[in-house]
Amino acid sequence: MADPQERGKAPAGRGEAPRRRRAHTTSRDLERYANLFARRTQAMRSSAMRDLMAITARPEVISLAGGLPDTSTFPSDSFAAQMTRIAHESSAEALQYGPTEGFEETKACILEVMAAEDMAPDPDDLIVTTGGQQAIDLIAKTLVNPGDPVIAEAPTYPGAVATLCSYEADVHQVSTDDDGMQIDELEELLAGLATTGRRPKFIYSVPSFQNPAGVTLSGERRRRLVELAREHEVLIVEDNPYGLLRYEGDPEPTLYSLDGGDYVLYLGTFSKILSPGIRIGWVAAPPPVLEKIGLGKQAADLCTSTLSQYFVREYFGEGRWRGYIADLVEIYRARRDAMLDALDRHFPEQSAWIRPEGGLFLWATLPDYIDTTDLLAKALRENVAFVPGRAAYLDGRGGASMRLNFSGSDEEAVREGIRRIGQVVSEQVALYETITGEHRAAPPPEDDQPGGDVVPIPRRR
Ligand SMILES: Cc1ncc(COP(=O)(O)O)c(C=O)c1O
């Protein structure tokens, strides 16, 4: 066998094409391509988590940055049995294209999941998508012209920031507190936009265990939000990947169930309750909107992976999906508690965070003289990562906040990760106090805080 070093030099035979090494990009190269880019690429933003993934994949790094469910909890023997059954019984079909809107059998599984949160859409109102992320993209593709107003929470899901930017939406972010989006502020915003004749295309919300803030929209606010959508004839996009991952407290009704599906477009996904690797999500929408979304999907990818849909069908056929979610809830609750405990031990008193009742994330806010984007570089030197708060805003806010994920690492790693971040934060606090001679007390309770910038969470000690 040829020495690997030599292989590139061998004459190109079958399977032996010499690998072309890319030289450094020159300014001439940049110019050549730059003139070709569409205008919308100027507004495109990279997702902070995607950028971090390459670094956090290193085994020595404890990543509290990703939104990763712990897929090692899925029993590998049952995965093997399901895939073997597919190979033996439906190989040709599973390897084939499928309908753009998804298979009826996949929709039947989706209906089971939605029923668990008291929703019962008509299967014809559903399209199976390549993850929830594609559903966000297709909705934006269907509804948003450059410059159109769209409303989102502050902070909002960083993956939605990337999508909304690429469609050149004019995003207005509404502050959030412990009870989710502040509806009074939303009402003012809607009224303000109406006076200038601008009608937002939709209000994007993650009402349960929000990514990134971890907060949940209260029942009262949910009702008010749905009423406002009707009054102003504005669509709501309810993105609900985490609703079934509740560790304490009582569930709130989904916006979709409160509205009945007239103004609320509902997004779901199997990513957090089964596997993100299978890339299956869905959207439920009123028929005229769904039809356009379907056309958008045809152009995007023809259909969602048939093989993945067959896997979902097999998995649900075994009837243990509820049991698996119950297992995840136990595991993630323990990890959340480990993180809360470690924060108490290792973060300086000037910091604050929320106690999420479910989901995968916790949002922490540090003294305003700390910039978490700078802090991340220091944290990475200690082999630990988080998502800097700015990734969740379009207007530069969130500089002193961070998103911490507790589902992707075991309890020991979660504790160690927080210890390392706490150490870096404490060093910054000590440095600040040395330079300024100042000792800042913990932030005042929520009611005394001026303005609603980021999630004004404190109340921890
Ligand atoms: C709020 C929210 N929406 C959508 C997604 C995308 O999920 P997926 O495309 O894996 O279904 C995520 C993933 O973290 C999320 O947190």
| 317 alpha carbon – ligand 1 mean position (Å) | 25
| 133 alpha carbon – ligand 1 mean position (Å) | 6
Q: Is the pLDDT of residue 247 over 70?
A: yes
| CA separation for the pair 121, 110 (Å, rounded) | 10
Ligand 1 atom nearest to 281, measured from its CA: 11
Could you tell which of 157, 163, 205, 274 is best to mutate to test the pocket of ligand 1, judged by most ligand atoms within 8 Å of the CB?
157
Predicted TM-score of the model (pTM): 0.90
| 396 alpha carbon – ligand 1 mean position (Å) | 22
| 336 alpha carbon – ligand 1 mean position (Å) | 19
Could you tell which of 271, 274, 406 is best to mutate to test the pocket of ligand 1, judged by most ligand atoms within 8 Å of the CB?
271
Percent over 70 (pLDDT), the chain:
89
Find the distance separating the first CA and the last CA of the chain, reported in whole Å. 66
| 417 alpha carbon – ligand 1 mean position (Å) | 23
Question: Cβ contacts of residue 295 below 8 Å, gap of 6+?
Answer: none
| 241 alpha carbon – ligand 1 mean position (Å) | 6
- What does the DSSP assignment read for 372-383? HHHHHHHHHHTT
Ligand 1 atom nearest to 133, measured from its CA: 9
| CA separation for the pair 255, 289 (Å, rounded) | 18
- Express each pLDDT in 97-135 by its tens digit: 999 999 999 999 999 999 999 999 999 999 999 999 999
What single-letter amino acid sits at 256?
Y
What's the pLDDT at 447?
A: 44
What's the pLDDT at 433?
A: 85
CA distances for 124 relative to 93, 284, 287, 294, 443, angstroms: 22, 9, 8, 12, 51
Q: Is the pLDDT of residue 5 over 70?
A: no
Do 382 and 356 contact (CB within 8 A), yes or no?
A: no
* Least confident segment among 11-15, 278-282, 368-372: 11-15
Q: Could you identify the residue written with the tokens 């309890």?
A: 411
Could you tell which of 239, 267, 283, 406 is best to mutate to test the pocket of ligand 1, judged by most ligand atoms within 8 Å of the CB?
239
Ligand 1 atom nearest to 157, measured from its CA: 1
Task: Name the token pair of 163.
Answer: 């999508």
Question: Cβ contacts of residue 226 below 8 Å, gap of 6+?
Answer: 236, 255, 258, 259, 263, 264
* Least confident segment among 145-159, 319-333, 361-375, 424-438: 424-438
Average pLDDT value for the chain: 89
- Express each pLDDT in 155-192 by its tens digit: 999 999 999 999 999 999 999 999 999 999 999 999 99
| 132 alpha carbon – ligand 1 mean position (Å) | 5
What single-letter amino acid sits at 363?
W
| CA separation for the pair 132, 241 (Å, rounded) | 8
- Express each pLDDT in 387-416 by its tens digit: 999 989 988 899 999 999 999 999 999 999
What single-letter amino acid sits at 280?
I
What's the pLDDT at 2?
A: 38
Residue in 294, 310, 260, 267 with CA at minimum distance from that of residue 90:
310
| 250 alpha carbon – ligand 1 mean position (Å) | 23
Q: Which residue has the higher pLDDT, 27 or 407?
A: 407
* Least confident segment among 18-32, 227-241, 352-366, 441-455: 441-455
- Ligand 1: lining residues by beta carbon, under 6 Å: 67, 131-133, 157, 159, 206, 211, 239, 241, 269, 271, 276, 281
In angstroms and rounded to an integer, the radius of gyration of the C-alpha atoms of the chain is 24
- If you take atom 7 of ligand 1, which residue's CA is the nearest one? 132
Ligand 1 atom nearest to 135, measured from its CA: 9
What's the pLDDT at 48?
A: 62
| 314 alpha carbon – ligand 1 mean position (Å) | 23
What's the pLDDT at 448?
A: 41
The maximal CA–CA distance of the chain, rounded, in angstroms, is 75
Percent over 90 (pLDDT), the chain:
76
Q: What's the distance, CA 227 to chain centroid?
A: 26
Q: Which residue has the higher pLDDT, 385 or 447?
A: 385
Vertex 207: Cα angle to 205 and 209 (nearest 5): 125
Could you tell which of 47, 130, 133, 242 is best to mutate to test the pocket of ligand 1, judged by most ligand atoms within 8 Å of the CB?
133
